[in-house]
Chain A
Amino acid sequence: GDSVTQMEGPVTLSEEAFLTINCTYTATGYPSLFWYVQYPGEGLQLLLKATKADDKGSNKGFEATYRKETTSFHLEKGSVQVSDSAVYFCALIDTGRRALTFGSGTRLQVQP
């Protein structure tokens, strides 16, 4: 079945550092890929998505590119802020069920 693997956290960075959170997937076909963010005490918010190979999703300074060759969707941000501290989830969608398969999540802590 489908699966998503994320780098384990926590990831601790200083403000203005460069962020990469690795995500790879296994799936039948070419599903849409997502990054969700969960701020402390809150629910899930869609951060960005990409629907086909070579698509780049972007939002709030975060970017991720759908790489079919390496089955990856790594999340990057050039300069993180304290307010980016959250848990980040990589996910893919099962087109038949219209339901998501999530990675285990990566906690990001940004220190001032």
Chain B
Amino acid sequence: NAGVTQTPKFQVLKTGQSMTLQCAQDMNHEYMSWYRQDPGMGLRLIHYSVGAGITDQGEVPNGYNVSRSTTEDFPLRLLSAAPSQTSVYFCASTTGRSDTQYFGPGTRLTVL
């Protein structure tokens, strides 16, 4: 049981490039979410999903897209990277029967 996995662990992009941060879980959790962590601001919700095929925006969705074609995978796409998207990104999952969120190890992204 790998839990929640994220790839890559580190990434450097140039302004304007696009990329996809991968997130996968093997616990059959219905709910998944993406957060970004910035110094002094805690973690903020980018997008979330309540099940396969269903996604919605969180507090800071601009510049990011998501899809949920399977229960296991919840990729986060940066369409045109900007320096303001330099951050650490965490993916999490949980079930409808529990309040406990399971977090991935994070992806540290730098946009130059």
Contact = CB atoms under 8 A, between A and B. Distances in A.
A100 B45 contact: yes
A98 B42 contact: no
A32 B101 CA distance: 12
Given A89-B43, A105-B42, A46 B100 contact: yes
A101 B62 CA distance: 18
Nearest to B58: A99
A43 B103 contact: yes
Contact residues on B (Cβ < 8 Å of other chain), bracket: 20 to 34
Contact residues on A (Cβ < 8 Å of other chain), bracket: 10 to 19
Contacts of B48: 97-99
Interface of A: 4, 32, 34, 43-44, 46, 49, 51, 89, 93, 97-105
Report the 6 A-B pairs with minimum CB-CB distance, sorted nearest first.
A98-B31, A102-B42, A32-B99, A104-B42, A102-B43, A99-B33
